Amino acid sequence: MPAEHFDVLIVGAGLSGIGAAYHLTHKCPAKRFAILEGREAIGGTWDLFRYPGVRSDSDMFTLGYSFKPWTEPKAIADGPQILNYVRQTAIENGIDQKIRFNHRVRRAEWSSAEACWTVEAERRAGDGTTGTVRFTCNFLFMCAGYYKYEAGYLPEFKGAADFKGRLVHPQQWPQDLDYAGKRVIVIGSGATAVTLVPSMAKTAAHVTMLQRSPTYVVSRPAQDALANRLRRHLPASLAYQLIRWRNVLFSMYFFQLSRRKPLAVKDLILRGVRAALGPGYDVATHFTPRYNPWDQRLCLVPDGDLFRAIREKRASVATAEIDTFTEKGIRLKDGSELEADIIVTATGLVLQVLGGTEVVVDGRKVDFANTLNYKGMMYSDVPNLAAALGYTNASWTLKCDLTCDYVCRLLNYMDRHGYKQCRPHNDDPTVAPQPSLNFTSGYVQRSIAQLPKQGSKRPWRLYQNYALDIVSLRFGKVDDGVMRYS
């Protein structure tokens, strides 16, 4: 039986995948496409993560789609609200009918002779059995995110098998976990940890956030008062765009200020923490990082919920290194011991390229570590393939929206000129490869050697700047001398 053919295959039915499908539906209406989703539901990250309090760490006026106003009162939204928003978008535009669930893409092979991708997916049947199915397409649009869905990062903790309580990772949160009245240790200091601690502290006996080193934590109102006022007096779409641009410009300003005047921004953040926790709290030990603001992502706590839990003694922070797990909890290197009934390892993600898909071009397996990232979405000498990836210093969806728009421009340009293939190619010897991310975060440093590189100049340079990307992706030439068409 011949493989089913599509003009475009989208991989992933999460936030970016549904956005990609919307853009194709409205800007390339003649294109026949399908979405291959490895899981059994729409939502990606927002369907996968089920831990207590899961929420965005960006405001929904920028994390939301440019074409669908966010209308809920909360700007810093809960995970179920975001999941509902993504699913509503899919249903309203008929995208849910285009999704093949339980199809996990494992391999994609390109043939220049046929100008076609052959995509192999592992299909899981209702009885749990799996088999391989094949599709062909002219263009492959990867929207599978940047981390491994099967498992999060878990360091080897000495003595972990000795712990008599329950050990869980947020990425595989057990729905039967009852932590009411229990002593909990959350290992970590990133976005997941600062979300879990105040949420679990509502019913747990006590929650301790155990961190090796501190992170910058910023409080922000969960509801945007100005946005809610504007929506009462203006059309929803206009109010949404005004607040969206206000937030975009402020985040760009704050990021640039952090780069130019890191000590001033550090002082500003720490003053906010001191005000939230009171003069007697040891901010220097527990909330003063060794790095400058935006060398790693800042952590956002809506309405200061983490600080409130600490003030009310329902939660505490311990800053120390782990020596070993024990039967009753964790012994630290200073000799003290933290006792717990439950230990949560909020120790991070495992990064991977294109959802872990093996990519082959004309018989040659692609090593993405040796490719250059073109405009933040394509890869040198890999034809007819794009990936939707967001910003590290702003909301994910801002860049994904621009990427989807550009891919539609590219497809329409190829149709107008009768082209079947497009391939970004670098023949400029002055373009020097550089790491694609300049974050010092552990999850980045663990994987940086396997990630594609960026170049030292356009269009291979990643600027992490929404305004520059609008100029480049929405108004820049599609035929820029670097993209080769045939």
The pLDDT, as a whole number, for residue 128 is 80
The tokens describing 172, both together, are 């595989």
Is residue 50's pLDDT more than 90? Answer: yes
What distance in Å separates the CA atoms of residue 370 and residue 372, rounded to the nearest whole number? 7
Amino acid found at 279:
P
What distance in Å separates the CA atoms of residue 347 and residue 103, rounded to the nearest whole number? 28
The tokens describing 61, both together, are 């006026």
Q: What is the pLDDT of residues 360-415, one digit of tens each?
A: 999 999 999 999 999 999 999 999 999 999 888 888 899 999 999 999 999 999 99
Is residue 26's pLDDT more than 70? Answer: yes
Helix extents (H) in 278-420: 283-286, 305-311, 396-417
Kindly write down the DSSP assignment for every residue of 112-181, as one continuous string: TTTTEEEEEEEEEPTTS-EEEEEEEEEEEEE-S-SB-SS-------TTGGG--SEEE-GGG--TT---TT
Domain ranges within the chain, ordered by starting residue? 4-150+350-485, 160-345
Q: Which CATH class is domain 160-345?
A: alpha beta
The tokens describing 189, both together, are 């200091």
Kindly state the average pLDDT of the residues 12-33.
96
Is residue 1's pLDDT more than 70? Answer: no
Q: What is the pLDDT of residues 167-186, one digit of tens each?
A: 999 999 999 999 999 999 99
Per-residue burial over 177-209, b = 16 or more CB atoms within 10 Å of its CB, e = otherwise: eebeebbbbbbbbbbbbbbbbbbbbeebebbbb
Is pLDDT larger for residue 442 or for residue 185?
185
Is residue 19's pLDDT more than 90? Answer: yes
Is residue 148's pLDDT more than 70? Answer: yes
The pLDDT, as a whole number, for residue 382 is 97
Average pLDDT, the chain: 93
What distance in Å separates the CA atoms of residue 12 and residue 320, rounded to the nearest whole number? 39
Strand order in the sheet with 329-332: 322-325, 329-332, 337-339
Kindly state the average pLDDT of the residues 282-300.
92
pLDDT band per the 50, 70, 90 thresholds, residue 129: confident
The pLDDT, as a whole number, for residue 393 is 80
Is residue 441's pLDDT more than 70? Answer: no
What distance in Å separates the CA atoms of residue 442 and residue 211, rounded to the nearest whole number? 13
* Of the listed ranges 135-144, 178-187, 223-232, 325-334, the one predicted with least confidence: 223-232
What distance in Å separates the CA atoms of residue 277 and residue 230, rounded to the nearest whole number? 32
Comparing CA positions, the residue from 296, 264, 298, 266 lying closest to residue 284 is 266
Kindly state the average pLDDT of the residues 119-142.
93
Q: Which CATH class is domain 4-150+350-485?
A: alpha beta
The pLDDT, as a whole number, for residue 331 is 96
Is residue 436's pLDDT more than 90? Answer: no
Kindly state the average pLDDT of the residues 216-233.
92
What distance in Å separates the CA atoms of residue 451 and residue 370, rounded to the nearest whole number? 8
Kindly state the average pLDDT of the residues 301-322.
96
Is residue 440's pLDDT more than 90? Answer: no
Q: What is the pLDDT of residues 421-435, one digit of tens each?
A: 999 999 989 998 888
Instruction: Decide if 4-150+350-485 and 160-345 have a common fold.
Output: yes
Q: Residue 187 in contact with residue 212, Cβ under 8 Å?
A: no
| H/E element, 268 | helix 262-277
Positive/negative CA dihedral, 411, 414, 420, 422: negative
The pLDDT, as a whole number, for residue 201 is 97
pLDDT band per the 50, 70, 90 thresholds, residue 351: confident
Comparing CA positions, the residue from 421, 351, 437, 355 lying closest to residue 142 is 355
Is pLDDT larger for residue 41 or for residue 449?
41
Is residue 21's pLDDT more than 80? Answer: yes
The pLDDT, as a whole number, for residue 439 is 66
The pTM of this model reads 0.93
